[in-house]
A = this chain, B = another copy of it.
């Protein structure tokens, strides 16, 4: 997983069925001091993360489907937790 900060969200009307009613958050990787590193990516959110939250991003399809609870959904990155 990667540490990341939530910096926004994405609205998409034309999207795949398994993304209906899912929140798509824009997150950016951070290092352990909180500095932004790398490029932004889009992760599905299941934990009501808000902008500014530090989150754990899990990038693996099977894991994402487990967290979202949709064994056939189309997910490659998911928010797996919110860091205290």
Q: Could you tell me which A residues sit within 8 Å of B by CB distance?
A: 1-3, 7-8, 10-16, 18-19, 24, 26, 29, 31-32, 37-43, 46-47, 56, 58-67, 72-78, 80-84
Contact = CB atoms under 8 A, between A and B. Distances in A.
B62 A10 contact: no
Contacts of A84: 11-13
Contact of A24 (B12, B56, B64, B65): B56
A18 B24 CA distance: 22
Contact of A73 (B40, B46, B63, B78): B63
Contacts of A19: 80-81
Nearest to A83: B12
